[in-house]
């Protein structure tokens, strides 16, 4: 029985390249997306040799509308894609205040707009087919917005929010969604952002293979949100409970008494 095709963005390096390998090991054919055509072809040859699956590549710049459209068409009905992994993403080169607006905007184009469009196309197709899975790579910084570049943390909070919303929306359609929240993970993302890995506490740095293997184990366990380094999942569940407790108070006819709008 075939697993169908997994479309993996950001497959030319780091987390996406490991997903490609592990999903091929699980029997998926692959469609690999990133800008670097040569690296994609090299990886495709290695993976098809190692695992005997069909691997195709689609070089695309996902910061552009054309790049997104070229990939989205594979996610429309009729294509054999049954899993989407959104791993393509960039980290900022420096602080928010020290960044050029154009660079922050390009980060949002890739981390938010491209991920949104591919996820939306896949979600609609998979829901119609009543089969499929979407894995979105967010980041642990989505939970710690005060500590990092605002555009980056907000982009990763978007990924988390979109994934949680769709998980609820599509649960009746046999479509699985998972957001993965890596902490610091050894990949090229640091080089690309001009950050030396030597500046990072090794106790906080996970290997990319371990990250992906843990994330896939979380997927197998049915988790919607997976934090690969979190030893006690109860802490996450506690946070989710607190969020649910807020719900009945978030939209009411009157403002809260603590603002003193009404006498008495
Ligand atoms: N490493 C970490 O510490 C960490 C922590 C939390 C979250 N994450 C997230 O994990 C995801 C994967 O990152 P990584 O750590 O594996 O970094 P990486 O090794 O730099 O991989 C990034 C991938 O995205 C692709 N990419 C970059 N710009 C692109 C564009 N304009 N169009 C299409 N593809 C593009 C890159 O390939 P090309 O250059 O060939 O296009 C590469 O395949 C990202 O979303 C990142 O935000 C990483």
Domain ranges of the chain: 5-234
CB 74 within 8 A of CB 82: no
pLDDT in tens, 70-123: 999 999 977 799 999 999 999 999 999 999 999 999 999 999 999 999 999 999
99 lines ligand 1 (CB under 6 A): no
pLDDT at position 1 = 60
Mean pLDDT, to the nearest integer, of 18-43?
98
Q: Is residue 264 over pLDDT 70?
A: no
Residue 241: Cβ-neighbour burial (10 angstroms; 0-12, 13-18, 19+): exposed
**Ligand 1 atom closest to Cα of residue 186:** 1
Q: Which residue owns the Cα nearest ligand 1 atom 36?
A: 10
15 lines ligand 1 (CB under 6 A): yes
Q: Fold for 5-234, please state it.
A: Rossmann fold (3.40.50)
Nearest to 17 by CA among 38, 35, 37, 33: 33
Taking the centre of ligand 1 as the mean of its atom positions, its distance from the CA of residue 187, in whole angstroms, is 8
> The sheet that has 29-34: what strands, in order across it?
55-59, 29-34, 5-9, 81-86, 132-137, 175-180, 225-226
**Ligand 1 atom closest to Cα of residue 67:** 32
Taking the centre of ligand 1 as the mean of its atom positions, its distance from the CA of residue 9, in whole angstroms, is 9
């Amino acid at each position: 029985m075939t697993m169908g095709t997994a479309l993996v963005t950001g497959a030319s390096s780091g987390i996406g390249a490991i997903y490609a390998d592990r999903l091929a090991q699980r029997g998926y054919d692959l469609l690999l997306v990133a800008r670097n055509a040569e690296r994609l072809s090299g990886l495709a040859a290695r993976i098809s040799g190692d695992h005997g699956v069909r691997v195709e590549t689609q070089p695309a710049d996902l910061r552009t509308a054309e790049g997104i459209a070229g990939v989205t068409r594979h996610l429309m009905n009729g294509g054999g894609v049954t899993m989407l992994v959104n791993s393509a993403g960039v980290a900022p080169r420096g602080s928010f205040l020290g960044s050029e607006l154009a660079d922050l905007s390009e980060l949002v184009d890739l981390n938010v707009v491209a991920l949104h469009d591919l996820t939306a196309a896949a979600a609609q197709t998979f829901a119609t087919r009543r089969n499929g899975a979407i894995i979105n790579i967010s980041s642990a910084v989505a939970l710690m917005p005060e500590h990092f570049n605002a555009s980056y943390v907000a982009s990763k909070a978007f990924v988390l929010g979109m994934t949680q919303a769709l998980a609820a929306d599509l649960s009746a359609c046999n479509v699985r969604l998972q957001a993965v929240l890596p902490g610091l993970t050894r990949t090229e993302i640091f080089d690309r952002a001009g950050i030396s890995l030597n500046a990072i506490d090794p106790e906080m740095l996970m290997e990319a293979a371990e990250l992906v293997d843990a994330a896939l184990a979380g997927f197998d366990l049915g988790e919607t949100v997976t934090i690969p380094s979190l030893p006690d999942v109860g802490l996450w569940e506690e946070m989710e409970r607190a969020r649910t407790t807020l719900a009945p108070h978030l939209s009411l006819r009157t403002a809260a008494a603590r603002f003193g709008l009404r006498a008495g």
